[in-house]
Amino acid sequence: MQYKVIFQPSGRRGMATNDKTLLQVSRELGVDIESPCGGAGKCGKCKVKIEAGCLNLSPLTEQEKAMLTSEEQVDNFRLACCAKIQGDVMAFVPEQSSGGKQVILETAQERHFNLNPAIRKYYIEMEKPSLEDYRDDFMRLTDALTGRFSQLKDLQIDYSVLLTLPDSLRQSGWRVTATLWQDKEIVAVEPGRVENSYGMAVDIGTTTIAAYLCDLATGNVVQRDSLLNSQVRFGDDVISRISYCMMNDDGLACLHNLIINDLNTLVARMTHAAGLNYENIYEMVLVFNTAMHHITLNIDPQYMGRVPFASAIRSPLNIKARDLGIKIARSGNVHCLPVEAGFVGADNVSVLIAEEPYKRNSMMLVIDIGTNGEIDLGNAAGMMSTSCATGPALEGAQIKYGMRAAPGAIERVKINRYTYEPACQVIGGADGLGAQPKALVKGICGSGIIDAVAELFKAGIIHSDGRFNKELNSPRIRRGADGKMEYVLAWSAETVIGQDVTITQKDIRAVQLAKAALYAGAKILMQKKGVAKIDSVVLAGAFGSYINKESALVIGMFPDCALENVTAVGNAAGEGAKLALLDLSKRAAAREIAASIQFVETAAEEDFQKHFFEAMDFPHAKDPFPHIKYILTNFPGR
């Protein structure tokens, strides 16, 4: 049986087979409904309001009864992942359940590198063939190249370039520009003198894909763009994606095709914007976590999703773009940075080649915050890394009003420690605290959550163990519908979702779990290395906004370090990808560090639990951070 299904407010409609869930159908119709738990009925983010056809759905499940308030139940709310279609249905997707466009922050930080790309162009002129000089076109070309440029030898040609070589040489009067990859393989031959050549660096995050279109002749970034990873519809974290591949026969093919389409969309959009076309892109450098690595390459990720987390391949790879279905120049290569181990992927290697802790004498801690936290510790004498499951709280998921860093997300919070009134900065709102049009508020993103928890603690609204101080008198500090304490960041009138946006006791607990995992991971590395004190900390992550380093320190996300030696760098993985595109020596460095870094499996460490529980509390002293005193004195509205 087939039934008619309509989603509002988009108005998308289509036919659905019996017993498919609303979530499944929404995916088929391209309607973006939040489902961080991957449709497992656990997160309660996929609430939709049934506007017609309530009785044409399967009965309320136990999960729905637990997740939906009795008011919501009366108002015909359902969880899209639980409600199965058994007749015609029209559903309304409320603002807070709807996926939005991700905002990606570009780092302003300038990094030094030598322009030394894999792709280089060489202009040459040749004698035309004669009965006396009957060399073939390929030899004529390579003789000219190796004769003119002494660093070139043993040149190969990609098969697809060969197809047009005779025409290219003759139509140009034997004056051409050859494009070489690694000074080894001829990947293009163009008539006349051509100097521009382009490449693309892409950081494929679980949530966001960030791309940089670079001019390889100058090293300049000519376009930046980002896209919500289309796989987000199938779950917010890598475990959901791996599960989807394992549970569905065409799961891997489906997710693989989505990511390839996303990459092709970015190529098309960015080359169009730059007045180029896809054939001008000769190389693409990819970085990703291990799950995205496998799925992008169409390799079954199931084994790296479970103990002992063995990945299929960690070595750096060069694959013809055409073999992956990626539409750049037909002879173009895709370079994948090497993977470290288990969940520590090429993205962490990319962060390392961007930050270069292995070139320093001082002891540096690098934390890349994501759904999985990756932690690196060390210096020129040696590096260690680990990975810890922080949960998605720091990215805004599994938080009651959490959301991705999209327009409407609160990204900065200050709370007046006398009036308990907050000042919020909202993405897409006016810049600066206090001046934003509050009506935009839709939820809270990662950096906002870290800020809010830190501010709640500093204002004394929560204790160092994370519990609310119930003795304070403010309408913002109250008991929620579930009887648990919460803090109101924005009143419903200030939002577009028609609800008060709050930070709940449960949200604070999730942040505590996440930061404790990061802290414990860092502690384990320090212990393994025999280091008592770290000299500097780098906070990386594609949050959409820099994380506030003071807030991170206040909540105890990492072991103590002088604040001036803490740097928040934004999307360092994307930066590393760009550097690897522009400088071959970075690829060598990546290969070296990926092979030499010592991976520590925290699950195998007895002390991890101890450190983890010790780190659950917020650092308990009324004012334990003399070095960040200036933040308090600068507090607005004090």
Closest CA to 332 of 340, 324, 341, 344: 324
Told to check if 300 binds a second copy by CB under 8 A, we report yes
Give the residue from 76, 71, 46, 45 showing the smallest Cα distance to 60. Answer: 76
**Residue 260 binding a second copy, by CB under 8 A:** no
| Number of C-beta neighbours around residue 382 at 10 A | 12
C-alpha span between 346 and 357 (Å, rounded): 16
Contacts of 34 (CB under 8 A, 6+ apart): 45, 46, 96, 97, 98, 99, 403
Which of residues 152, 222, 258, 319 is near a second copy by CB under 8 A? Answer: 319
User: Is 62 or 133 the residue whose CB approaches a second copy more closely?
Assistant: 133
| Binds a second copy by CB under 8 A, chosen from 19, 167, 250, 421 | 167
Question: Which CB, 293 or 412, lies closer to a second copy?
Answer: 293
- 495 DSSP 8-state letter: B
Total residues binding a second copy (CB under 8 A): 48
- In the complex with a second copy, the residue whose CB is nearer, 8 or 156, is 156
Binding-site member from 17, 18, 315, 492 for a second copy (CB under 8 A):
315
Give the largest Cα separation in the chain, rounded.
Answer: 100
Q: Does residue 607 touch a second copy according to CB under 8 A?
A: no
Q: Is 173 in the site for a second copy (CB under 8 A)?
A: no
Contact 531/435 with Cβ under 8 angstroms?
no
Give min distance, CB of 155 to a second copy, in A: 10
Pick the stretch among 2-10, 43-51, 162-170, 198-206 that binds a second copy (CB under 8 A): 162-170
Least distance from a second copy to the Cβ atom of residue 12, Å: 34
Q: Is 317 in the site for a second copy (CB under 8 A)?
A: yes
DSSP 97-129: GB------PPP--------B-SEEEEEEE-PPP
Q: Which of 54, 310, 435, 562 binds a second copy (CB under 8 A)?
A: 310
- Quick note: the x/- pattern for a second copy over 16-45, rule CB under 8 A, is ------------------------------
């990662």: which residue's tokens?
446
Smallest distance from a second copy to CB 190, Å: 17
From candidates 87, 94, 129, 191, binder to a second copy by CB under 8 A = 129
Q: Which stretch binds a second copy (CB under 8 A): 83-91, 380-388, 600-608, 625-633?
A: 600-608
Q: Does 298 bind a second copy (CB under 8 A)?
A: yes
Name residues whose C-beta falls within 8 Å of residue 32's C-beta, 6 or more positions apart in sequence.
26, 98, 99, 100, 232, 233
From residue 416, alpha-carbon distances to 167, 530, 634, 636 in Å are 73, 41, 11, 8
Phi/psi at 492 (5° precision) = -55, -35
Residue 120 — φ and ψ, nearest 5°? -135, 150
Instruction: Kindly state whether residue 195 participates in binding a second copy, applying the rule CB under 8 A.
Output: no
Stretch that binds a second copy, among 128-136, 257-265, 383-391, 629-637 (CB under 8 A): 128-136
Residue 247 in contact with a second copy, rule: CB under 8 A: no
- What is the Cα 560 distance to its own chain's centre? 27
CB atoms within 10 A of CB 607: 13
From 48, 216, 341, 384, residue interacting with a second copy (rule: CB under 8 A)? 341
Q: Which stretch binds a second copy (CB under 8 A): 138-146, 203-211, 536-544, 615-623?
A: 138-146
Taking the least distance from each CB to a second copy, the nearer of 81 and 344 is 344
- Contact (Cβ atoms closer than 8 angstroms) between residue 283 and residue 118: yes
Q: Could you tell me the smallest distance in angstroms from the CB atom of residue 354 to a second copy?
A: 23
Instruction: Give the CB-side neighbour count of residue 567, counting CA atoms within 13 A.
Output: 16
Which one among 70, 130, 151, 634 touches a second copy, defined by CB under 8 A?
A: 130
User: Is 165 among the residues that bind a second copy (CB under 8 A)?
Assistant: yes
Contact between 139 and a second copy per CB under 8 A: yes
Kindly compute the dihedral angle of the four CA atoms of residues 474, 475, 477, 478, in this order, to the nearest 10 degrees.
Answer: 130
Identify which of residues 311 and 502 has a Cβ nearer to a second copy in the complex: 311
Q: Is 291 exposed, middle or buried (0-12, 13-18, 19+ CB in 10 A)?
A: buried
Q: Which alpha helices (H) appear in 86-197, and where do they start and end?
A: 137-148, 159-162, 165-171
Asked if 131 is part of the footprint of a second copy (rule: CB under 8 A), the reply reads: yes
1, 52, 163, 632: residue in contact with a second copy (rule CB under 8 A): 163
For a second copy, which is the closer residue by CB, 136 or 607? 136
Q: Give the residues lining the site for a second copy (CB under 8 A).
A: 129-131, 133-140, 157, 159-160, 162-163, 165-167, 170, 297-300, 302-303, 307-315, 317, 319-320, 322-324, 339, 341-342, 599, 601, 603-604
